């Protein structure tokens, strides 16, 4: 049986998105900036996609949507723009969290070297950063608060509406990296008082290479690159038309099926969690309630995540041991460290992320296979044997 359950890394392109994209490769290929009607037709189609995206996230107008190359570019541009706006007013302090994606953390680190002061809030043991925690860190010179909508490893959903309300009240710009949340849980930039938001096509059955930066009307974006006047001069370079069309189609589809799909995935997720937490020496990471419908993150004492992932792949199950963006590193994940996963567990972590294409039969196969492989790895794990010995001694 082949099971793909690494959907937080990338999802399968939906049929709807694929069908929508195909004409833009070899039929509708004119340059959208051209003044002839072939080009203007493409421009209209991009703007139609812009309206679709605006509606999906509750934006006031389509003009607030800028198409980018993906979540990383959107995060970079959002943060650099807010920093530039803050610096103009002498505000050079930014609040964010310890467990953001590296697209945010590394951008903040760059700003730090440019003289900004960065304060990172630490999530609690459940993987939640409370609005009170953020409120306490905001100062008079705070230019920006950036808190992810949902964490990419442990899937915990942050209180974005509450944080947004506080930022609005205190007059601070608020950015949220919604890459993992978009298309999976309800997002409404007006309801949540969000000023800047990033999302990425390939996380909700759209294509790779397209992302969105939402910037509330009136927030001037700084360019990351110089070039032509595309995207109202906010993002030069010929538009990735097929990917933009596919992103909008996939987002529209995901949002319209959200309720049903969320229910389906939550059932499937809980079935796997129930099965895997039966294994001795296992621990779930992150809140079970404030959690993305398809995310399971669980650690098994005495095992190694890389070995788990590779052995599972060998029997047809594709999962991960954390973020794909940091897979070469041998360091334990900064996310798991930030929520204080004990060192006995932290190395043996699996991230299983589901999509609409997974079935109950696959869920059971995952539970059965992970159980088998955890036992296999422990059969020759010196640290697990020591733990068993210590437990026995304690019992005596």
Partner 1 sequence: MLYNHTITDHFLHPQNIGALNDADGIGEVGSISCGEVVRIFIKINDGVIIKTGFEVFGGAAAIAGASVLTELVKGKTTDEALHLADSGKLDTLLDGLPPSRLKSAVFVCEALQAAIKNYYDNNGIVYDLFEFALGCSMCDGCGDEFV
Closer residue to partner 1 in complex, CB, 191/385: 385
- Which residues, 6+ apart, have CB-to-CB distance to 299 below 8 Å? 282, 283, 285, 336, 341, 345, 346, 348, 349, 350
Find the binder of partner 1 among 119, 280, 304, 357 (CB under 8 A).
304
CB-based burial label for 126 (10 Å; 0-12, 13-18, 19+):
middle
306 binds partner 1 (CB under 8 A): yes
CB of 180 to partner 1, least distance (A): 24
Other Cβ atoms closer than 10 A to 55:
15
Which residue of 361, 385, 390, 391 would you call a contact of partner 1, by CB under 8 A?
Answer: 385
CA 61, CA 119: separation in Å to the nearest integer? 32
Residue 326 lies near partner 1 (rule: CB under 8 A):
no
Q: Which stretch binds partner 1 (CB under 8 A): 138-146, 207-215, 288-296, 298-306?
A: 298-306
Measured from the CB of residue 75, what is the shortest distance to partner 1 in angstroms?
25
Interaction residues for partner 1, span 103-142 (CB under 8 A): none
Considering the candidates 310, 324, 325, 389, report the single residue annotated as catalytic. Answer: 325
User: Considering the rule CB under 8 A, would residue 311 count as an interface residue with partner 1?
Assistant: yes
Q: Is the Cβ of residue 270 or residue 318 nearer to partner 1 in the bound state?
A: 318
325 flagged as catalytic: yes
Distance between CA 143 and CA 238 in Å, rounded?
A: 32
C-alpha distances (whole Å) from 121 to each of 56, 77, 129, 360 are: 29, 22, 7, 38
User: Cβ 334 to partner 1, closest distance in Å?
Assistant: 10
CB closer to partner 1 out of 242 and 302: 302
In this complex, which beta carbon is closest to partner 1, that of residue 214 or of residue 384? Answer: 384
Q: Give the separation between CA 319 and CA 353, rounded to whole angstroms.
A: 7
Residue 307 within binding range of partner 1, rule CB under 8 A: yes
**Interface stretch with partner 1, choices 13-21, 106-114, 310-318, 359-367 (CB under 8 A):** 310-318
By CB under 8 A, residue 33 contacts partner 1: no
Residue 318 Cβ vs partner 1, minimum distance, rounded to whole Å: 12
213 within 8 A of 83, measured Cβ to Cβ: no
Query: Rounded to 5 degrees, what are φ and ψ at 118?
Result: -115, 130
* Binders in 330-359 for partner 1, by CB under 8 A: 330-332, 337, 343-344, 347
Please select the residue that binds partner 1; options are 151, 303, 355, 358, rule is CB under 8 A.
Answer: 303
Measured from the CB atom, the residue of 103 and 309 that comes closer to partner 1 is: 309
* Only segment of 107-115, 165-173, 226-234, 296-304 that touches partner 1 (CB under 8 A): 296-304
Span interacting with partner 1, options 6-14, 72-80, 258-266, 376-384, rule CB under 8 A: 376-384
**Considering the complex, what minimum distance in angstroms separates the CB of residue 332 from partner 1?**
6
The site that binds partner 1 (CB under 8 A) totals a number of residues, namely 25
**Residues designated as active site:** 325
Residues that bind partner 1 (CB under 8 A): 302-304, 306-307, 310-311, 314, 327-332, 337, 343-344, 347, 379-385
């Amino acid at each position: 049986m082949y099971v793909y359950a690494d959907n937080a890394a990338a999802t399968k392109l939906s049929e709807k998105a694929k069908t929508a994209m195909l004409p833009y490769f070899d039929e509708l290929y004119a340059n959208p900036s051209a003044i002839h009607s072939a080009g203007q037709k493409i421009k209209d189609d991009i703007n139609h996609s812009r309206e679709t995206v605006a509606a999906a996230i509750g934006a006031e107008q389509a003009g607030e949507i800028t198409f980018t190359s993906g979540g990383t570019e959107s995060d970079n541009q959002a943060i650099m723009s807010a920093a530039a706006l803050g610096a103009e007013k002498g505000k050079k302090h930014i609040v964010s969290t310890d467990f953001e994606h590296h697209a945010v953390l590394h951008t903040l680190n760059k700003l730090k070297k440019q003289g900004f002061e960065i304060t990172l809030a630490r999530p609690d043991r459940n993987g939640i950063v409370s609005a009170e925690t953020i409120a306490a860190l905001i100062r008079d010179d705070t230019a920006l608060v950036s808190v992810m909508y949902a964490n990419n490893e442990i899937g915990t959903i942050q209180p974005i509406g509450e944080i947004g309300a506080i930022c609005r009240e205190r007059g601070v710009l608020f950015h949220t990296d919604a890459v993992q949340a978009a298309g999976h849980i309800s997002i409404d930039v007006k309801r949540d008082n969000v000023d800047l938001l990033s999302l990425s096509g390939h996380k909700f059955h759209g294509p790779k290479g397209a992302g969105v930066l939402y910037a509330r009307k009136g927030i001037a974006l700084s360019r990351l690159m110089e070039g032509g006047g595309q995207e109202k001069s906010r993002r030069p370079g010929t538009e990735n038309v097929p990917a933009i069309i596919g992103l909008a189609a996939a987002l529209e589809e995901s949002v319209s099926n959200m309720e049903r799909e969320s229910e389906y995935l939550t059932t499937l997720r809980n079935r796997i969690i129930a099965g895997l937490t039966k294994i001795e020496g296992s621990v779930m990471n992150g809140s079970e309630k404030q959690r993305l419908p398809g995310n399971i993150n669980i650690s098994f004492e005495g095992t190694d995540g890389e070995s788990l992932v590779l052995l599972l792949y060998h029997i047809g199950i594709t999962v991960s041991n954390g973020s794909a963006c940091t897979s070469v590193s041998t360091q334990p994940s900064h996310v798991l460290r930030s929520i204080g996963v004990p060192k006995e567990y932290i190395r043996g972590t699996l991230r299983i992320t589901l999509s609409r294409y997974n079935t109950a039969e696959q869920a059971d196969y995952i539970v059965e296979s992970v159980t088998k492989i955890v036992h296999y790895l422990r059969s020759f794990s010196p640290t697990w044997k020591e733990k068993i010995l210590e437990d026995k001694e304690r019992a005596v």
